[in-house]
Structure 1
């Protein structure tokens, strides 16, 4: 048995089916933004600016509280190299959520707030008995980030802001089958990530009432799992001496991202935004697991990733139809960070194109936001020869195709 194959799916601590960005990023942080293709770095729409650009928070007119939730509905199909049978994911739904509360004096130059969001969280369940069962069968990932934020308007045209990013809670459950001479055993890895800290900082420049420019930087955080549980089932007693590990540890990068955004308001009712982001995926080179005892004669495992930095472009707009109704639309293009020959079942990624629509209706101080996204991940084939050339035979050759639908709803209250 190949130990790398046994533990390949560990990369899913940060991955799964990423809902709206390449690799294992998820950027479903604000319902208004979601309806506009995910733009937000150069805009000051609402309290969700704490995520997209803390520097823009000082220019948000209203103080308020908002909560939102999305449902990611993924359809993933796989055909093994040389095969004809199409395998599909078992049905699963994940629900990324967010909560923002912004405060500050009505006529003051500063704003403060607290943000809670889930930038990593997904669930993948491959078909029973699929060809890659020894790499991955199930993933269940949950995470909660908390970000206290402060923003200050230095002048009427320039503001800055920053937030302390806290990985407050994270958990992962990974499962896969173990090939044995006459049967399959099963391994389950279950662990919790340690609390870690990073930062989110931004600047907003407003040369005029019709133009705004934003710059945002989100720092890298290393997610560290220590003393995760390793459990084996359906392993005959004759082979139990080969599977003695009970604990595992791993460190994986939550990569840094630098973004620039432009907001344009041609008329009082129309707002257009454009964002460009660079994700520093090249920091993700190797996935290593350490074990308290041996598995098939080894106490550690390493699997190549060799990700590359990737760009994301987003464009969106909103139009205020009436005093209470605003409609939105947008789209995005994401480059994949996964190079040829390094595709894994837990991140069956490729360049992706998404389209979005959304709307808001406000009545007094209350409002409702809705959004829907359709994400198409380009079909991608990985051959056995590519795996052999790169020394990545710990994964399976074949063709993946994924489409994702993401409806969302949010409630907000201004005060």
Structure 2
């Protein structure tokens, strides 16, 4: 039983890491790579050329810039979560309880798991970015960008009722992207960017005191840290059939990681869970973004965008460890392909000031069956406003505010740790406020 418990405990920790990092690219994919784009809900991400952030939005767009420029900024996210209608339960196998029955024959109830459900487990976070674009001539342009495509942090209180399903998760992905674009004529341009991606993650899961020989006593903890580096690429094309209409299409490749890390125990769990190596093959999905920008009048332009992520390739989590040559665990995930849609507009009030607004519908790839306390997300709606102020021809300051609201969702999980069966269920309601600012300087 001890060896089985070791494997299961490590599986809980690392499987949660994989699930959390994958979910960042769906329910919590980071879109904050442009504050000017944030103002109109990123509706024209692949087609509207405002500044150097087009290096990320569509590599082909750099050749539509008239001079070299640098854009840097960030968005501060403040996430609020309300947890309600909670229930939990625990039981132990009758054989382990000394009832003299075969293992698995009967479960002996041990009562609910005591704890709190404060919510608001996501700390405020600043997401920075920086881009540089340099047109060499009327056709050729080079650029470079540094940004965060994925990332999150959930830090529940120590007494969280669902702590045995994940009490701490932190994921950070930083990408660096050299880019080149070429404009074939007045209508067509194409671009490509190579991405160097580094992922760092840390997570923790509480282990019930009853499994550590102290029923009703404090929990132990399993904590996992890991990192990896990998390459990917972006492709973009931009088409302008007439000066007033611009269409853009961007493809972002999948990125494959092998996360190597360590599982470490504390709080009394050391006697049951040896520190050991573990690895996980992780692939984030390819995505496609299409957008249209239409200049309606000299002062008004409207935008539409649609994004698709191929999440259907994420069918299971397979974790290999140093304890046993067989897989530590294989968990079915069955993600769905996900779509997001956005509409927005920009009005040039005067030569110095542009006003923006947009709405985004972002559908989650997760399902009710596999939703986790680490990523308790669902379909979301985002409402954005913004402004761009150009005090001189060389400098623009952009500001944006976004309000995100998610559909109320239910988390209903069960887990077996050694002889113990754990259950936790709760309703989650998430909302977030995003405050963005960026500076563009043209040379």
TM > 0.5 between the two? yes
Evaluate the alpha carbon distance shift between residue 337 and residue 394 of structure 1 in structure 2; reply closer, same or farther with a 3 A threshold: farther
Match of 1:323 in 2: 351
Q: Is the 8 Å Cα contact of residues 165 and 206 (structure 2) preserved in structure 1? A: yes
Matches for 1:90-105 after TM superposition, within 5 Å? 90=121, 92-105=123-136
**Residue matched to 2:38:** 34
| Pairing partner for 1:74 from 76, 79, 88 | 79
State the Cα distance separating 1:63 from its structure 2 match: 1.8
**Is the deviation greater in 67-76 or in 245-254?**
245-254
1:208 aligns with 2:239: no
Q: CA RMSD in A?
A: 2.5
**How far apart are 1:62 and its partner, in Å?**
3.2
**Residue in structure 2 matched with residue 185 of structure 1 by the alignment:** 220
Equivalent runs, 1:228-239 vs 2, <5 Å: 228-235=261-268
Is the 1:15–1:122 contact (alpha carbons within 8 Å) kept by the matching residues of 2? no
1:97-132: per-residue Cα shift (whole Å, max 9, x none)? 111001123x52111100110011221112332221
- CA distance in 2: counterparts of 1:255 and 1:91, whole angstroms: 25
Instruction: Give the match for residue 162 of structure 1.
Output: 192
Aligned match of 1:277: 307
Deviation at 1:154, TM superposition (A): 0.5
Separation of aligned partners in 1, 2:116 and 2:159: 12
Matching residue within 78, 87, 92 for 2:118 = 87
Please list, as runs of the form range in 1=range in 2, the aligned pairs for 1:3-402 lying within 5 A after superposition.
3=9, 4-11=11-18, 14=21, 22-39=26-43, 40-79=45-84, 81-82=86-87, 86-90=117-121, 92-105=123-136, 107-167=137-197, 169-181=198-210, 182=215, 183=217, 184-193=219-228, 195-226=229-260, 228-235=261-268, 240=271, 242-293=272-323, 300-364=328-392, 365-383=394-412, 396-402=424-430
**Alpha-carbon offset, residue 258 of structure 1:** 1.1
Deviation at 1:267, TM superposition (A): 1.4
Query: In 2, Cα distance between the equivalents of 1:12 and 1:343?
Result: 9
Checking the alignment, whether the CA contact within 8 Å between 1:311 and 1:335 is kept in structure 2 is yes
Report the 3-state secondary structure (helix = DSSP H, G, I; strand = E; otherwise coil) of the residue aligned with 1:71.
Answer: strand
In the alignment, is the contact (CA less than 8 A) between 2:339 and 2:362 conserved in 1?
yes
Residues 203 and 223 in structure 2, CA contact (< 8 A), matched pair in contact too: yes
Distance 1:250 1:6 in 2: 12
Structure 1 residue 197, shift from structure 2 partner = 1.0
C-alpha distance in 2, partners of 1:224/1:12?
A: 14
1:204–1:253 Cα change, 3 Å:
same
- Deviation of 1:324 after TM superposition, in Å, equals 1.2
> What are the Cα deviations for residues 314-345 of structure 1, in whole angstroms up to 9, with x where unaligned?
11111111211111110100111012311112
Aligned pair in 2 of structure 1 residues 65, 269: CA closer, same or farther (>3 Å)?
Answer: same
Report the Cα distance in structure 1 between the residues aligned to 2:203 and 2:331, rounded to whole angstroms.
16
Report if the CA contact (8 A) 2:39-2:400 is conserved. yes
Correspondent of 2:439 among 399, 411, 414: 411
Q: 1:290/1:30 Cα in 2 relative to 1: closer, same or farther (>3 Å)? A: same
Shift of the 394–221 alpha-carbon distance from structure 1 to 2, 3 Å rule, reads farther
| Structure 1 unaligned residues grouped into runs of 5+ | none
Q: Is the 8 A contact 1:189 1:231 kept in 2?
A: yes
Q: State whether residues 13 and 203 of structure 2, in contact with CA within 8 Å, keep that contact through their aligned partners in structure 1.
A: no
Worse-superposed segment, 118-127 or 54-63 = 54-63
Q: Distance in 2 between matches of 1:8 and 1:150?
A: 38
Provide the rounded CA distance (Å) in 2 between the counterparts of 1:251 and 1:271.
44
**1:394 & 1:79 partners in 2: Cα distance?**
19
Give the direction of change, closer, same or farther, for the CA distance of 1:6–1:413 in structure 2 (3 Å limit).
closer
* Maintained 8 Å contact 2:60/2:190: yes
TM, length-normalised to structure 2: 0.84
Of structures 1 and 2, the larger Rg is shown by 2
Normalised TM-score (structure 1): 0.89
In structure 2, the CA distance between the partners of 1:77 and 1:7, relative to structure 1 (3 Å rule), is: farther
Structure 2: which 5+ runs fail to align? 89-114
Do the aligned residues in 1 keep the contact of 2:255 with 2:285 (CA within 8 Å)? yes
Distance 2:318 2:51 in 1: 40
Cα distance in 2 for residues equivalent to 1:177 and 1:412: 46
